[in-house]
Amino acid sequence: MKETSLTDRQERIAGFKQSLIDRAVIGVIGAGRTANEVIKNLALTGFRSIFVCDMDSVSDTNLPGTVLFRKADVGEPKARLAAEGFERLAVAEGAKARWLCADACYGLGEGVLRRCDLVINCVDNTQTRLYISRICKLLEKPCVDIGISGFDWTHMASSPDSDKACYACVISPRDAHEALKRVRNSCDVTLSEAAKEDRAATIITAAAMAGGKAVETAIKILHYEEREDRSYDPFYGVITSYSAASGRTESFRVPLREGCENHLSYRELGGIRPSGLSADDELGKVLERVRELYGEGYSLSLEKDCVPVSNKAFIRRAFCKCCQAPIEVYRPQFSLSDEDLLCEDCRAAGKIPLLPSRAERIYRFSLAETEERILGMKLRELGVPALHILEFVSGDESRLPLFLELDGDGKEENI
């Protein structure tokens, strides 16, 4: 009897090439309701390699909407459980899911996404949607964005080409600004605890439809990018919105928004260079290496001009949010909560952080101007994730910024 492939039925679809699925690497950002559906579909259509990033742990209210989580998983990291769920369900032999428990905006190195063929953005906030969309444009990766609200869902695929519309083209500059404020109080330093508590109304039926649509689009992109087969058109730059109240799905063709800052690619900015460096290297060593290779005068810039939706700073000193006494911090801004900015006395007295913070932020580091203590810190301690792409800027404006990848991190266990 002839042996049949497990994916035989889908391989009967005209033009379908299982080999494209077999060799693709898919990045999934988020491991909540929509991502669970996406990952389940990726596993059952024969994908062999995925990467999952999520910062949260499973709570009991997650369980009714998530096919990959069980009651015993409460308190465990969603990213790990989603990765394990993929491997458990996968029809491809030897399927492997890598994972990272981190906030994608701050803890995910761009080089991780560089190693993916496409990215499916399943996060729950506009800031991260904008950030991932921006990084995908820089890396010239296709990106599929899905979101849900109640019974409704939204889907958009963005082309890897920098001259085509992206997710940010949908959002007005004012909404983008609001999105940043929602996660981080712009006049303050610390992550707002209230923002973390923002929970939207969602239901598994919406996640299932959006997750199905996202994986359909991922499959179409793999076929379309290989041979521009019109029957596999992923409809780049079209945002689709399903409303359960009207029972209608509306499609909107998104034009490239005038003034959208999110379209230049790293290739157009001079390209990404290898470095042999790692996030575990000390800042001083990294700056010396850059001087050795590219000459004097380069500074490491934590905040990149080409990523306007990020908000990265290193806090050296701050003032207590209760009594205003000066405190040493020496930590990345994104890692700080309100309690971290209380002096020892106020913390011991159990006081509540009420005042807005004042802090000394550092965005750039150089051999000439950065203090020894910071030069001796590892990049990771400054908030730089493994496999990140760093920007080095020169005081000489005629020299373009350098983009160096921390490719020394390539052997990290998970990513």
Partner 1 sequence: MEDIIITVCYETEENEISTQPGIVLGDLMNQLGGRGMVPRGQTILVKKNKSDELLDLTKSLADNGIRDKDVLHVATAAKAG
* Binds partner 1 (CB under 8 A): choice among 24, 26, 33, 333: 33
Count other Cβ atoms within 10 Å, centred on residue 359: 19
Interstrand relation of 118-121 and 96-101 (parallel, antiparallel or unpaired):
unpaired
- How far is it, in rounded angstroms, from Cα 30 to Cα 132? 11
Q: Is 202 in the site for partner 1 (CB under 8 A)?
A: yes
Closest approach of Cβ 123 to partner 1, in Å?
A: 5
* Binds partner 1 (CB under 8 A): choice among 73, 103, 117, 124: 124
Segment near partner 1 (CB under 8 A); pick from 67-75, 144-152, 347-355, 394-402: 144-152
* Binds partner 1 (CB under 8 A): choice among 73, 103, 110, 152: 152
For partner 1, the binding residues in 57-76 under the rule CB under 8 A are: none
Closest approach of Cβ 250 to partner 1, in Å?
A: 5
Mark residue 185 as left, alpha or beta (left: phi above 0; alpha: psi -120 to 50; beta: remaining): beta
Q: Is 158 in the site for partner 1 (CB under 8 A)?
A: no
- How far is it, in rounded angstroms, from Cα 105 to Cα 96? 24
Segment near partner 1 (CB under 8 A); pick from 108-116, 255-263, 325-333, 384-392: 255-263
Closest approach of Cβ 21 to partner 1, in Å?
A: 24
Q: Is 231 in the site for partner 1 (CB under 8 A)?
A: no
Closest approach of Cβ 266 to partner 1, in Å?
A: 27
Written as six digits, the tokens of 47 are 């994908």
What backbone torsions phi and psi does residue 367 show, to the nearest 5 degrees? Answer: -65, -35
* HEC secondary structure over 185-242: CCCCCCECHHHHCCCCCECHHHHHHHHHHHHHHHHHHHHHHHHCCHHHCCCECEEEEE
What backbone torsions phi and psi does residue 239 show, to the nearest 5 degrees? Answer: -100, 130
Closest approach of Cβ 168 to partner 1, in Å?
A: 11
Single out the residue of 403, 215, 183 nearest to residue 311, CA to CA: 183
Segment near partner 1 (CB under 8 A); pick from 249-257, 272-280, 292-300, 312-320: 249-257
Residues lying near partner 1 in the complex (CB under 8 A): 30, 32-35, 122-126, 129, 146-149, 152-154, 170-175, 200-202, 206, 238-239, 241, 243, 245-246, 250-255, 257-258
